[in-house]
Chains A and B, each alone.
Chain A
Amino acid sequence: MRVKNSFTLTALLVMPLLLTFFLPELFAGELTSLEILDKIDMMWRGESSIGTYQMKIKTSHWERNLRIKSWTKGLDYTLIRIEYPKKEKGVSTLKVENNLWNYLPKINRVVKVPSSLMMGSWMGSHFTNDDLVKESTLADDYHHSITFRGKREGQEVYEITLLPKEEAAVVWGKVIILVRKNDLMPLHEVFYDENDKPVREMKLTDIKMMGGRLLPTTMTIVPYDKPGEFTEVTYVEISFDMELSDTFFSLRNLKQQEG
């Protein structure tokens, strides 16, 4: 009698554990939106990353090409440095938590970007300062759900719709992400304002292996209100999970040219 009792107890304790362990396996074919978002997030960031990009900005008045180097660590730290063209060489942006500073080598000064300018353009591109500052993942700030499964544009996709949580301080009214089903590669994201009007689109293309991972190596931001304009970022090289200390992301290092 006693033995039987203790067996029941053990079973009661162990069963939920077993269930949590095996449950994802049981439903392996049907990922949740959270799992997809987490996977995309880890693909981009890793623990840390060092990358070099080409940024092509086209507006109705000018067109520019920048070469940028970036260092990231977790969600809180980012350092971006312009390497080319000459006029802007060394112009850098440091992000620590939700603060943003720009360093201007010409005048050797650091300028803090005020929160009122977070929706302003980053270095003239179609990225906003806010794009750099986002310190939490989309999954933290938005309610998310898979709103479409099936074939679109010739491939099996998931469509994930994100709506901001009530308490989240976010800038978008809605975000729709299209993800390729077989390898969970994001294909494009559409950003809506609070009036449910699409504001800009991000296309993710050139999916290939880089830095030991499969990832889209070209990102194109197309603002809907400025026809003909875009910013295209292409990865030249990237490596993940390098050793970077927190002090690397300091105002002092921001000012140093050999970062």
Chain B
Amino acid sequence: MLLYLKLAWRNIWRNSRRTLITQFALIVALALMIACSGLTWGLVKQMERNATLLGPGELQVHRPGYLDDRSIYRSIEHPHTLVATLEQYGVKAASRLHGFGLVSHGDNSSGTQVLGIDPLKETTVTDFHKHLFKGSFLQHEKDVLLGKKIAVTLDATIGDELVIVTQAADGSIGNDLYRVAGILKGISEEIDRSTVMMSLADFRGLFSLHNVATEIALRRGDPTEDLTVIRDRIKLALPDQEVKTWKELFPAVSDLLELTDASIYILLTIIYLAGSLIMLNTMLMSVFERIKELGIMMAIGFRPMQVLLLIFLETFFLTLCGAVMGLACGVSLSLYLTHYGLDLTSITEGFSFVGIAAEPHWFAVTTFNTVFPPFIFLFVLSLLAVVYPAIKASLLKPVDALVFH
């Protein structure tokens, strides 16, 4: 056996140029595959984050019936005590209020969804404060944040005065002046096009409301904990309220993300196949090139099984070397992309995919799932790739092999 190993090892380096080319192909293919899967999973993770942390939060609490008829009258009384209770259950919680109104700046006006948030608590639950295109988060009284597209519709920028007119809860006409504190980056069609965010206090003033909230948004304290487990625990604690995960609240978004997952598997398979094709080609060539040489070996007494074993051993060494180096290169590339990201700001200001915004700064993720599947895939495929040439070579008659062209 040792003889075969020795022979295989020597064979690899006998034609060192071919071997180096094969190695190089392997390393490049594997590194790219690892980086690509890191980036695609990064995109999925980012979209999932945007679908939760830039919008609904991970879980929401409502008064039963609110989701069917989003009326300001179906609100939760004394939300702060509820928030305090929820915080004891290992989640971060923030009260919110939703309403409709007419917002206007100069001669421009637009219908709007007004979102009232608790500026302090909201930052623990969602990432709106980290997602500002311009300006700052809510700091002062009568500060508002605008969605990206509604800011364009209104032709409003930081510091501009806005008028918001609504139908207050008591039927009167709520109206007041506000100042644009910040403009959000693209998040989702709905938020970009129509949302104006203000503090809960300002919202209650505008809508003549007392201490109520229409919704409490939650975020896991421990991000590894399963959402449905937390939901069930909170349900037990708040039997009078409706508790739902974002997947239940937005089944369409969740389905779309799952569909994206599936399409990413297809995409990755294509990338893997492309990478493997480079491998397959070099392996095929390296066997066919040596048919004559293998014929000589058989002429001096090698049996077909021994030729087969030899070729497999060679491939194994070759692939192992290449794959280990490729792994090293791929992981470093992927880690670089995880930390520094891919800056696309020169190409796009951010785009929306399946209704969820993607940022122009694209970060990869590096996990077991992004690194090992390409590694295993490539390894197995290279071994499979030589099956055909190896069998073909082992079945050659030495005489034919010697005259093989």
Given contacts A57-B171, A121-B167, contact A109 B110 (CB under 8 A): no
Binds A, one of B173-181, B280-288, B379-387: B173-181
Binds A, one of B23-31, B101-109, B338-346, B388-396: B101-109
* B78-114 vs A, Cβ < 8 Å mask (1 yes, 0 no): 0000000000000000000000001010010111000
Q: Is A123 within 8 A of B173, CB to CB?
A: yes
B73 nearest CB neighbor, chain A only: A61
Other-chain contact of A88, B107, B109, B173 (Cβ < 8 Å): B173
Q: Chain B nearest CB: distance from A65 CB in Å?
A: 10
Most buried by A among B102, B104, B169, B171: B171
A-chain residues with CB within 8 Å of residue B111 when the two chains form the complex: 114, 116-117, 120
Check A259 for interface membership: any CB of B closer than 8 A.
Answer: no
Check B170 for interface membership: any CB of A closer than 8 A.
Answer: yes
Q: Is B104 within 8 A of A111, CB to CB?
A: yes
B-chain residues with CB within 8 Å of residue A123 when the two chains form the complex: 173
Q: Is B104 within 8 A of A59, CB to CB?
A: no
Other-chain contact of A124, B104, B107, B109, B173 (Cβ < 8 Å): B173
Given contacts A104-B163, A116-B111, A117-B111, contact A111 B173 (CB under 8 A): no
B-chain residues with CB within 8 Å of residue A59 when the two chains form the complex: 171
B-chain residues with CB within 8 Å of residue A106 when the two chains form the complex: 175-176
A-chain residues with CB within 8 Å of residue B337 when the two chains form the complex: none
B interface, over-half SS: strand
Sorting the interface of chain A by its residue count into under 10, 10 to 19, 20 to 34 or 35 or more gives 20 to 34
Most buried by B among A62, A120, A121: A62
Q: Chain A nearest CB: distance from B190 CB in Å?
A: 15
Check A151 for interface membership: any CB of B closer than 8 A.
Answer: no
A63 to B170, CA, bound (A): 8
Check B165 for interface membership: any CB of A closer than 8 A.
Answer: yes
Check A72 for interface membership: any CB of B closer than 8 A.
Answer: no
Other-chain contact of A111, B163, B167, B169 (Cβ < 8 Å): B163
Q: Is A104 within 8 A of B165, CB to CB?
A: yes
Q: Is B109 within 8 A of A107, CB to CB?
A: no
Q: Is A109 within 8 A of B173, CB to CB?
A: no
- For chain A, residues 53 to 108, give those with C-beta under 8 angstroms from any C-beta of chain B: 57, 59, 61-64, 85, 87-88, 91, 102, 104, 106-107
Given contacts A61-B73, A116-B111, A124-B167, contact A111 B102 (CB under 8 A): yes
Q: Is A64 within 8 A of B171, CB to CB?
A: yes
A61 to B167, CA, bound (A): 12
Q: Chain A nearest CB: distance from B34 CB in Å?
A: 49
Sorting the interface of chain B by its residue count into under 10, 10 to 19, 20 to 34 or 35 or more gives 10 to 19
A109 to B165, CA, bound (A): 11
Check B172 for interface membership: any CB of A closer than 8 A.
Answer: yes
Q: Chain A nearest CB: distance from B147 CB in Å?
A: 16
Other-chain contact of A113, B102, B167, B170, B175 (Cβ < 8 Å): B102
- For chain B, residues 165 to 218, give those with C-beta under 8 angstroms from any C-beta of chain A: 165, 167, 169-173, 175-177
B-chain residues with CB within 8 Å of residue A57 when the two chains form the complex: 171
Check A112 for interface membership: any CB of B closer than 8 A.
Answer: yes
Q: Is A113 within 8 A of B109, CB to CB?
A: yes
B-chain residues with CB within 8 Å of residue A63 when the two chains form the complex: 171
Given contacts A102-B165, A112-B104, contact A107 B176 (CB under 8 A): yes
A117 to B110, CA, bound (A): 8
Other-chain contact of B172, A88, A102, A116, A121 (Cβ < 8 Å): A88
A-chain residues with CB within 8 Å of residue B104 when the two chains form the complex: 109, 111-112
Q: Chain B nearest CB: distance from A119 CB in Å?
A: 11
Q: Is B102 within 8 A of A117, CB to CB?
A: yes
Q: Is A114 within 8 A of B171, CB to CB?
A: no
Given contacts A104-B163, A121-B167, contact A112 B173 (CB under 8 A): no
Q: Is A91 within 8 A of B170, CB to CB?
A: no
Q: Chain A nearest CB: distance from B342 CB in Å?
A: 39
A220 to B107, CA, bound (A): 34
A-chain residues with CB within 8 Å of residue B176 when the two chains form the complex: 106-107
Q: Is A112 within 8 A of B109, CB to CB?
A: yes
Q: Is A91 within 8 A of B73, CB to CB?
A: no
A-chain residues with CB within 8 Å of residue B107 when the two chains form the complex: 112
Q: Chain A nearest CB: distance from B68 CB in Å?
A: 15
Q: Is A124 within 8 A of B163, CB to CB?
A: no
Q: Chain A nearest CB: distance from B128 CB in Å?
A: 26
Most buried by B among A62, A111, A116: A111
B105 nearest CB neighbor, chain A only: A111
A-chain residues with CB within 8 Å of residue B169 when the two chains form the complex: 61-62
21 contacts across the A-B interface (CB closer than 8 A): A61-B169, A62-B171, A63-B171, A64-B172, A87-B172, A87-B173, A91-B173, A104-B165, A104-B175, A107-B163, A107-B175, A107-B177, A111-B102, A111-B104, A112-B107, A113-B109, A114-B109, A114-B111, A117-B102, A117-B111, A123-B173
Q: 10 other contacts beyond A63-B171, A124-B167, with CB at 8 A cut-off?
A: A57-B171, A59-B171, A88-B172, A91-B173, A109-B177, A111-B102, A111-B163, A114-B102, A117-B102, A121-B167
9 nearest A-B residue pairs (beta carbon) = A62-B171, A111-B104, A104-B175, A64-B171, A124-B167, A109-B163, A114-B109, A107-B177, A124-B171
